[in-house]
Amino acid sequence: MARHAKRSPAIRSLAQRRQVNGIGITKYADGYALKVNLVEPLSVELPNEIDGVPIAVDLVGPTFPASS
């Protein structure tokens, strides 16, 4: 279900936003949720769920290659 929701037009559109960097599937209670990673806070409200799948937002900031 979460995998299906991740492919929905709403999520595909969300993934195009510049504040969003990666959407994945995370464990949530007895099921799964979609995890939306943000570089910076979104200016729009997200729905609580898409296609019955809960949405979790995580402000992870910029991502870097992990060599020193």
| Interface positions with another protein (CB under 8 A) | 3, 6, 15, 21-29, 32-33, 35, 37, 41-42, 45-46, 48, 54-68
Give the residue with the Cβ less far from another protein, 13 or 26.
Answer: 26
**Distance from C-alpha of 47 to C-alpha of 25, rounded to nearest angstrom:** 16
**Distance from C-alpha of 56 to C-alpha of 31, rounded to nearest angstrom:** 13
- Least distance (Å) between residue 3 CB and another protein: 7
**Distance from C-alpha of 67 to C-alpha of 2, rounded to nearest angstrom:** 33
- Least distance (Å) between residue 60 CB and another protein: 3
Give the residue with the Cβ less far from another protein, 9 or 41.
Answer: 41
31 strand-pairing partners: 28
